[in-house]
Amino acid sequence: MKPKTILTLALCVIGVAGCATRTSDSEAERAVAEMIKASFKTRGQASVDRLKQDEVQALCSKHAGELPKDASDAIEKAQQATIRYPSSGKLIGDWRQGERIAQSGTGKQFTDDPARPAGGSCYNCHQLSKQELSFGTIGPSLYQFGKLRGASETVQRYAYGKIYNAQGYSACSNMPRFGHNGILTEEQITHLVALLLDPDSPVNK
């Protein structure tokens, strides 16, 4: 049976059940979870394991992003502890490579070659440079990021850490945890830091 058909039937069943007796939130959640489980199949590197939420994701889903302050602080503290800075101590790479990574939408999809390095797809959520005609607005503009903040070691560590695991700075952030989830390597992240901070980068022109 096709996933679309399964989804339609599941919604009909839930709707009919709702007319006979009110469905509890927990029952509805279980029904949706089973529907999703039945609709998704492993295809190449896109495994159904991705449907399993870790503790942080589950907590964010439970509170729909509106976390109590103590829970938010706990998430940020725990996620900060997961950030791994390069053993070399070098936090800035080559902005030219960073630009290629930022503009690349390759990575982790079942149609992608897992042997190829993933990209960051940064333009999907952020403005990066003045030359871009189209960019996402889910995240803040990164144009002139380094020009406005400088390139001190503190700023370098912040930029690296934010890319590695954004939830260490903003609990339930929509930004992917690029380093924490193994989407980008440490070296790739240093190239993105360079893209943000190097004065010769188009981000800072």
Q: What is the DSSP string of 106-153?
A: -SSSTTS-TTSPP---GGGT----TT-S----SSPP-TTHHHHH---H
- Tell me, what's the pLDDT at 28? 80
Give the separation between CA 205 and CA 193, rounded to whole angstroms. 16
Q: How far apart are the first and last CA of the chain?
A: 54
Side chain identity, residue 161: G
Per-residue pLDDT of the chain (205 residues; tens, 9 = 90+): 444 444 444 444 445 444 445 567 778 878 877 887 777 777 777 677 767 888 888 888 888 868 899 999 999 999 999 999 999 999 999 999 999 999 998 877 777 777 888 999 999 999 999 988 889 999 999 999 999 999 999 999 999 999 999 999 999 999 999 999 999 999 999 999 999 999 999 999 9
Side chain identity, residue 179: G
Beta bridge partners, 43, equal 46
- Tell me, what's the pLDDT at 179? 97
Alpha helices in the chain (DSSP H): 3-20, 25-39, 55-62, 69-80, 95-103, 145-149, 153-164, 186-197
Q: Are 116 and 158 in contact (CB under 8 A)?
A: no
- Tell me, what's the pLDDT at 22? 59
- Tell me, what's the pLDDT at 65? 64
* DSSP single-letter state for residue 166: G
List the structure tokens of 81: 């502890």
| Reported pTM | 0.79
Q: Are 170 and 164 in contact (CB under 8 A)?
A: no
Side chain identity, residue 198: D
